[in-house]
Chains A and B, each alone.
Chain A
Amino acid sequence: MLFLTLSGISARILAGAFSVSLLLSFSGLSFAEAWPAKPLTLLVGFGAGGGADTLSRLVARELEKEIGQPVVVKNVAGGGGVVMATKLKNSEPDGYTFGLASNSSFDSMPWFAELEYKADDFDYLTTVTQLQNAIVASGDAPFNSWDEMIEYGRSSGLTFASISPITRRFINLVAEKEGVKIRIVPMRGGLEIMNSLIGGHVDIAWSAGVHQAYLSDGKLQVLAALNDERLSTSPEKPTVRELGYDKSYTTYFMFSAPKGIPEAILNKLTDALRKASASPAVAELAEDRMAFPNVVLEPEALKSFVLNNSDYYREAYRK
């Protein structure tokens, strides 16, 4: 027994963690109760230094307090979270590796790009913030509402800055429904888009929340919210659903893990993660500094949210 444990756990683990697991295996506790016996790894689907990374590192710090083990943050940037999700799918489902990305990496990207994974390859743990998706325009634009924008577009045409296939599909739908000619200009990243709007190089754009810093001095304006409900930073602006579109685009930064983690461990991890995500420090960073609502969903709600979206995009992609 002693030798088995020794070779099984191997010398690479820290001495402290090792002695703890040794003790627990002697006292006859089950595997689940021994978790966590070593440091956890949080894979972040974005580069170091950005908003998502900052948020992840703070959650990791709070999670350490909950579980009493270090949480190592690793940045696996690329493809807007797709590289991370691929890596996560191929990692061991032992409850020691989990990841953060936007739900679009799981529910829509597998249908738009050829990827190694699908939405049901993962367990969904919880969310930490809701993004603030909106169609935005410069404060100096010749229109100040969605309807004025459509009217202006019918006479002069519109240019739209796009960052993903989903934003492209939505604006094409608008163009078709309203009979407006909209030219779609590809851009890389939210900040480049904000710059182009303020500089007057494009008329309208999709923003996932970067625009919020530019609202107070009138550099940018929101035309319509894309989330299910109106945005807390622009409560007077209608959602696209209110404007007659049978669509909404609610997105979250959320945690997931490879499928197959023993249920007891999964529950422990989820509970600890939800406590960390709802902690005052995380809430303050998300709400006060980044202006994103600190929404911490139940795992069941998140799971059905992702899988429903995935079904929807599978159908949408077939058309």
Chain B
Amino acid sequence: MLNDILLGLSDALTLTNFLYIAAGVLIGQVFAAAPGVGALTAVTIAVPFTFYLNPVTAIGFLVGINKGGTLGGAVSSILMNTPGSPEATATAFDGYPMAKKGQALKALRTAHFSSVTGDAISDMVLFLVAAPLSILALQMGPAEMAAVVLVALVVVGGLVGNSIVKGLIAAFLGVLFSLVGTDPETAGGRFTFGIPELMDGLSISAVGIGVLALGEIFRQMVFHGDEANGSAQAAELGSREANRFRWRDYRSVAPTIFRSSAIGTIIGAIPGLGSTAAAFLGYSSAKRAAQDPESFGKGDIRGVAATEAANSAVVGANFIPLLSLGIPGNVAAALILGAFIIHGISPGPQLFAEQSRLVYALFGAMMIGTFCNLFIGLFSMRLFSKLIQLPLVLVLPCVVLLCVTGIIVASNLFGAWLLVGFALMGFLMRILNFSFVTFIIGFVLGPMFELNIRQTILLSDGNIGFLLTRPIACGFILMALYIAWRLGKRRKLGAPQLSM
């Protein structure tokens, strides 16, 4: 056992591995920092190249891209208010106001250290308790999954904004668009209009990047980015002191980081929920726990820390079901699973027993990846923070180009048209004050909720007593009710709500 650990770690700690992992992290950071391109595109392109590498190097390289990507995703959210993927949406809530106050570098550093901490914590959980946690994941049947999604929906309901009606309209619109595709039960088409590209539904990248990033860019173009750039630049020159991220800042956000890391790790260990749910849950919980929730959304450092720690913690924890059950938790993990297979490794229950040396080599590679992310981030974040000084006239067209190219690479030309359509929608939602946040949440969580509820109804044969045999599901449902009650009480008291 100890022998395997040492052999595995020494397999990981070679110069070749180190260079590949560092390159992966750098690629991940840069790809994810560019809105619309994303680390997922980088992983997709990189998979075929890894065929020629040895297994540890190959997986380490891909894991490096994945890790770098979780950090890079924060960059465009903070600097331009244009999240490159849904998981970084909540980063912009406080990151962008910080940038406008001239604290771009501080926001990026917060994201950097929170992301690396969240990632490191979830890696530790993976190394230490992968096996018991994977048993927990197996307990999560359709009823439990539906109940967890219900909790997530109620919790993020706190983000609905000032107008509940508009927030709900946007949320249900998100659910409506998520219905496009093939019905899971009958395989009949829903809103597909005979277009084969729509059979698998609207791609999350086209909808997400369109509404979140390109929609915001359209708004900045139309309104000349008046407040956006000018004031940020002025403030940048104004107070260098306020732009520093100090040790005492880290200490002040540490509780937030730990809470979000725990949320991200649990969500990541359950296949299928994903980092977007974790990010919003992390943000909402931090806001709820705060003494002064009204400061969130106005450039509170805890908002950035909560989101980034949560969505990064998903990355390590996603490997829990991947390694122990062979079940990928998200698309990136599915691509890495493909790389495992071509290298003759079949993840699953037998992997730890049969190839423990390889498992520990992989853990070693993940640790190197976390270290590289920390180290490279020290330089890259400073470099990225300079981007805010570029005039928007130059930046915006480049970003539009990146978004469109990214979609065409990831899907096809049809995806590019969808992107433009959803960008227009995101633009209209912004000027009409509809919450694009609840729209995205509805779009991401809607299908999960639908499928799991339908599965539960079929399994129970329509008998509600079935729920009594599922204690975990009951626990989550009670939790959702309690949170809804607390939320209603707070709203009645007139506590200020976040509007976006």
Binding site for B on A (CB under 8 A): 47-51, 53-54, 57-58, 73, 76-79, 82-83, 86-87, 112-116, 157, 159, 164-165, 183-188, 191-192, 194-196, 198-202, 213-214, 216-217, 219, 285, 288-290
Contacts and interface: CB of A to CB of B under 8 A. Distances in A.
B51 interface: yes
B454 A113 contact: no
B138 interface: yes
A192 B321 CA distance: 11
Contacts of A183: 458-459, 461
A198 B138 CA distance: 7
B10 interface: no
29 contacts: A49-B336, A49-B338, A51-B338, A51-B341, A54-B342, A73-B48, A78-B196, A78-B197, A78-B200, A79-B182, A83-B196, A113-B187, A113-B188, A165-B187, A184-B185, A184-B458, A187-B184, A187-B455, A191-B327, A195-B321, A195-B325, A198-B325, A199-B138, A200-B141, A201-B141, A201-B142, A214-B348, A214-B349, A216-B350
Given A48-B44, A184-B458, A199 B140 contact: yes
Contacts of A217: 349-350
Contact of B455 (A186, A216, A285): A186
Contact of B199 (A58, A79, A188): A79
A92 B139 CA distance: 50
B414 to A, nearest CB: 10
A191 B196 CA distance: 24
Contacts of B208: none
Q: How large is the interface on B (under 10, 10 to 19, 20 to 34, 35 or more residues)?
A: 35 or more
B459 A185 contact: yes
Contacts of A165: 186-187
A86 B200 CA distance: 14
A289 B342 CA distance: 8
Interface in B442-500: 451, 454-455, 458-459, 461
Nearest to B62: A49
A54 B44 contact: no
Interface in B330-370: 334-339, 341-342, 344, 346, 348-350
Closest 10 CB pairs of A and B: A49-B338, A201-B141, A49-B335, A79-B199, A199-B138, A186-B184, A186-B185, A78-B200, A86-B196, A83-B196
B138 A191 contact: no
A277 to B, nearest CB: 17
A285 B342 contact: yes
Given A49-B335, A113-B189, A285-B342, A213 B199 contact: no
A220 B272 CA distance: 22
Interface string B131-167: 0000001111110000000000000000000000000
A195 B329 CA distance: 12
A49 B48 CA distance: 8
B196 A116 contact: yes
A83 B348 contact: no
B326 interface: yes
A214 B83 CA distance: 40
Nearest to B334: A49
- The A contact surface, by secondary structure, is mixed
B268 interface: no
Contacts of B264: none
A73 B45 CA distance: 12
Contact of A199 (B51, B139, B186): B139
Contacts of B350: 213, 216-217
Contacts of B142: 185, 196, 201
A89 B196 CA distance: 12
Contacts of B328: 191
A82 B335 contact: no
A112 B138 CA distance: 33
Contact of B141 (A51, A79, A196): A196
Contacts of A86: 196
A187 B185 CA distance: 8
Contacts of B341: 51, 54, 289-290
Interface string B178-218: 00001011111100001011011000000000000000000
A199 B141 contact: yes
A213 B182 contact: no
A65 to B, nearest CB: 15
A204 B415 CA distance: 37
A4 to B, nearest CB: 31
A289 B200 CA distance: 29
A191 B338 contact: no
Contacts of A48: 44, 47-48, 335, 338
A76 to B, nearest CB: 8
Contacts of A201: 141-142, 459
Contacts of B454: 186
B199 A82 contact: yes
A164 B187 contact: yes
B28 interface: no
A281 B29 CA distance: 35
A201 B48 CA distance: 36
Nearest to B271: A195
A114 B451 contact: no
Contact of B200 (A79, A214, A219): A79
Contacts of A47: 334
Contacts of B51: 57
A104 B325 CA distance: 28
A213 B47 contact: no
A113 B196 CA distance: 10
A48 B454 CA distance: 29
A213 B187 contact: no
B349 A219 contact: yes
Nearest to A109: B187
A159 B342 CA distance: 34
Contacts of A113: 187-189, 199
